[in-house]
Chains A and B, each alone.
Chain A
């Protein structure tokens, strides 16, 4: 009989029930959309912040001390190099998945025909890698220097021009030498010389404007430095540093085993640096504070902002649902009065009304959840051009929210109606 009555309500009052389900669906979709976006916004913004370039630099151990210092006197560096053949290992560390991009650099001095000395930088542009994991990756400065403005020509495509003597040159240098894309420039190193064809002229807004960028192997040939690189820039998705990360960065051995585990298995810039040092021989990896710290601050702020907006919309959704549930229960005063008049116990009435509302709520909640996830995808694709991941944790949060809110909306109303005397209700409630 109980279920027959419920069925009766749901079928006969389907319009009203549909409205409740609709509101609950709205609320649930709002909650699901906001929660999904909130949980994913960190990753998404992190990805966006990669436009600032590398947040970790790797240099040879001995060079890290005085290289920059001596560069003033002697551009050649100190003679310590990293090994090119180890570069692939960076994609094998624990946090390999968080390594978005990286590129090796080799700076040498070259002499031009007019006798002036310039810096030639060898690097990857869009280097193609087949990783041991079966993944493929295009890494290089094409994405690590996304702020470069190409003034003439185009980005150098190293995949289709293997071993060719091609280069990109900085705008200041191009201006000085009156060169543009398509021209050639002759550079003499200590052990070799190259006739670079200029593919593009870039404006970097910094010291790189006075440099020539060419594929790594051609630059190595200039100085007979096969297999040598002098720095690596790594762009990694990182978690903002906390106190633990800072302590670990100074000295990982000061941590307890448990703390070490946590640190090692969290994508802090310092733990990723540590892991890179483990795979690259004689290297020192350090976070580029300018990028790493700012990323942390911006991500934190964005996440906090989204959390607060989410809380506001959750409160809004909750009150909206609560309101309507209360209103719809109140509306049924005469029905409840009648049930009391024919001898129904309070418990039975509450059970009946609650069951009806819960069936409606579950129905609305499920529809709302999927609609909300759809909204999140719209946001993800419009703003970030990628899908928002479905976090399993969103499901229980939305479910609990819907249940709590429905209860909070219906119980006070039911209690109030049960307090009424049936006669009053049946006499029009005046």
Chain B
């Protein structure tokens, strides 16, 4: 059984089909990237996976349980217990120190434990900055606090939305290295990004366009080679476009 499975998901805002029959599977321990230009529906998808939104139609199976019909209160519980979120804008509470921001996630989840929070910061290499306020940290450091906060409750999935969007290259590398480390430890990672460099390092990249999955790329580098997915039965032949075609379309 997959850890996360989307089955024929639609998200419709009036005329606009933000997501149009999307299906996808993420296995436990897998590192998946979701790529696409803006307006492709990746934010909507991220919100649905992150339990911050519900699909108009379709099923979302998390650990085999359909959460697509849950009330927003239950979704909060699911999000709290199973998902760690990382944002492009970091979104740290600006009057709490780094370690307090991490403890905040513990607080809502169970019981705050400063020692454990410090360990999490140590994992992201920020033990010495634990007592600093977000405004005293660089962007990369803030994002690492975010990562520490996301993993503090041992979530089933870490969901990162453009985690490197606001970072310079050096910091981007640090964060991606961190993801590697998490992946090696067996954490499931879903990274939403439009940066191919970040997407490429994942095991699998799902490309969205106009609310549809147009391509699933398995990163061969990860295992040794790149090849087109043969899974994803939902991807019809007509939907499949080569990367050249996509680029040509984009340039229009």
Which A residues contact B (CB, under 8 angstroms)? 427-428, 430
Q: At the interface, yes or no: B153 with Cβ under 8 Å from chain A?
A: no
B96: min CB distance to chain A, Å: 13
Closest to B137 in A: A430
The docked-state distance in angstroms from the alpha carbon of A341 to that of B134 is 24
Q: How far is A389 from B196 in the complex, measured between Cα atoms in Å?
A: 76
Is B83 positioned at the interface, with any CB of A under 8 Å from its CB?
A: no
Quick check: is B76 within 8 A (CB to CB) of the other chain?
A: no
State the CA gap A430–B134 with chains docked (Å).
Answer: 7
Q: How far is the CA of A427 from the CA of B139 in the complex (A)?
A: 10
How far apart are the CA atoms of A428 and B87 in the complex, in Å? 13
Chain A residues within 8 Å of B94, by CB: 430
B166 within 8 A of A: yes
7 closest Cβ pairs, A-B complex: A428-B89, A430-B134, A430-B135, A430-B94, A430-B90, A430-B142, A427-B166
Interchain nearest-CB distance for A386 vs B (Å): 55
Q: How many angstroms between the C-alpha atoms of A369 and B117 in the bound complex?
A: 56
Q: What is the CA–CA distance of A427 and B94 in the complex, to the nearest angstrom? A: 14
- Nearest residue (CB) in B for A428 is B89
A428 to B166 Cα, complex, angstroms: 11
Bound Cα distance from A428 to B139, whole angstroms: 11
Could you tell me the dominant secondary structure of chain B's interface residues?
A: loop
Shortest distance between the CB of B132 and any CB in chain A (Å): 12
B5 to chain A, nearest CB (A): 34
- Cα distance, A140 to B30, chains bound together (Å): 103
**B19 proximal to A (CB < 8 A):** no
Cα(A427)–Cα(B90), bound, Å: 11
C-alpha spacing A22/B230, complex, angstroms: 63
Considering the complex, give the chain B residue whose CB is closest to the CB of A427: B166
A-B contact pairs, 9 of them (CB 8 A): A427-B166, A428-B89, A428-B90, A430-B90, A430-B92, A430-B94, A430-B134, A430-B135, A430-B142
Compute how far the CA of A186 lies from the CA of B142 in the bound complex, rounded to whole angstroms.
Answer: 107
Shortest distance in angstroms between A237's beta carbon and chain B's nearest beta carbon? 60
What A residues does B90 contact at CB under 8 A?
A: 428, 430
Complex: chain A residue closest to B88, CB-CB: A428
Q: Which residues of B contact A427 (CB under 8 A)?
A: 166
List chain B residues, Cβ under 8 A from A428.
Answer: 89-90
CA distance A427 to B165 in the complex (A): 11
Interface string of B130-163 (1 = CB under 8 A from A): 0000110000001000000000000000000000
B162 to chain A, nearest CB (A): 13
* A430-B90, A430-B134, A430-B142 known, 6 other contacts, Cβ within 8 Å: A427-B166, A428-B89, A428-B90, A430-B92, A430-B94, A430-B135
Task: Report the minimal beta-carbon distance from A334 to chain B, rounded to whole angstroms.
Answer: 12
Q: How far is the CA of A427 from the CA of B168 in the complex (A)?
A: 14
Write the nearest CB–CB distance from B100 to chain A, whole angstroms.
16
Task: Say how far B160's CB is from chain A's closest CB, in angstroms.
Answer: 17
Nearest A residue to B91 by beta-carbon distance? Answer: A428
Task: Tell me the nearest residue of chain B to A429, going by C-beta.
Answer: B94
Which chain A residues border B135 with CB–CB below 8 Å?
Answer: 430
Chain B min CB distance to A331 (Å): 15
From residue B150, how far is it (CB to closest CB) to chain A in Å?
18
Q: Distance (Å) between the CB of B206 and the closest chain A CB?
A: 28
Contacts of B166 in A (CB 8 A): 427
Instruction: With CB as the reference atom, state the residue of chain A lying closest to B90.
Output: A430
Chain A residues closer than 8 Å to B89, beta-carbon distance: 428
CB distance from B82 to the nearest CB of A (A): 27
CB 8 Å contact bits of B94-123 with A (1 = contact, 0 = none): 100000000000000000000000000000
User: What is the bound-complex CA distance between A430 and B90, given in angstroms?
Assistant: 10
- In the bound assembly, the distance between CA atoms of A430 and B135 in angstroms comes to 5
A60 to B145, CA, bound (A): 98
Distance (whole angstroms) from the CB of B142 to the closest CB of chain A: 7
Q: Could you say which residues of chain B place their CB within 8 Å of the CB of A430? A: 90, 92, 94, 134-135, 142
Distance between Cα atoms of A428 and B89 in the complex (Å): 7
Shortest CB distance B147–A (Å): 16
List, in ascending order, chain A residues with CB within 8 A of B134's CB: 430
Taking the closest CB of chain B, its distance from the CB of A422, in whole angstroms, is 16
Distance in angstroms from A304 CB to nearest chain B CB is 45
CA distance A427 to B134 in the complex (A): 13
Nearest CB of A to B98, in Å: 13
Taken together as a complex, chains A and B put the C-alpha atoms of A430 and B132 apart, in Å, by 13
**Which A residues are in CB contact (< 8 Å) with B142?**
430
> B95 CB to closest chain A CB, in angstroms?
12
Tell me the nearest residue of chain A to B94, going by C-beta.
Answer: A430
B146 to A: closest C-beta gap in Å: 12
Q: How far is the CA of A79 from the CA of B94 in the complex (A)?
A: 95
**A117 CA to B142 CA, complexed, in Å:** 106
Distance A95 CA – B209 CA, assembled complex (angstroms)? 90
Tell me how far the C-beta of A207 lies from the nearest C-beta in chain B, rounded to whole angstroms: 77
CA distance A430 to B89 in the complex (A): 9
CA distance A107 to B199 in the complex (A): 114
A427, B138: Cα distance in complex, Å? 12
Instruction: State A12–B142 Cα separation when bound (angstroms).
Output: 34
Min CB–CB distance A428 → chain B (angstroms)? 5
Q: In whole angstroms, how far apart are the Cα atoms of A430 and B166 in the complex?
A: 12
A54: min CB distance to chain B, Å = 69
Measured CA separation A427–B89 after assembly (Å): 8
Min CB distance, A194 to chain B, in Å? 92
In the bound assembly, the distance between CA atoms of A428 and B135 in angstroms comes to 11
Q: Closest approach, in angstroms, between the C-beta of A421 and any C-beta of chain B?
A: 14
- State in angstroms the CA–CA spacing of A31 and B43 once bound together: 51
Closest-by-CB residue of A relative to B89 is A428
A309 to B135, CA, bound (A): 44
Q: How far is the CB of B209 from chain A (nearest CB, A)?
A: 29
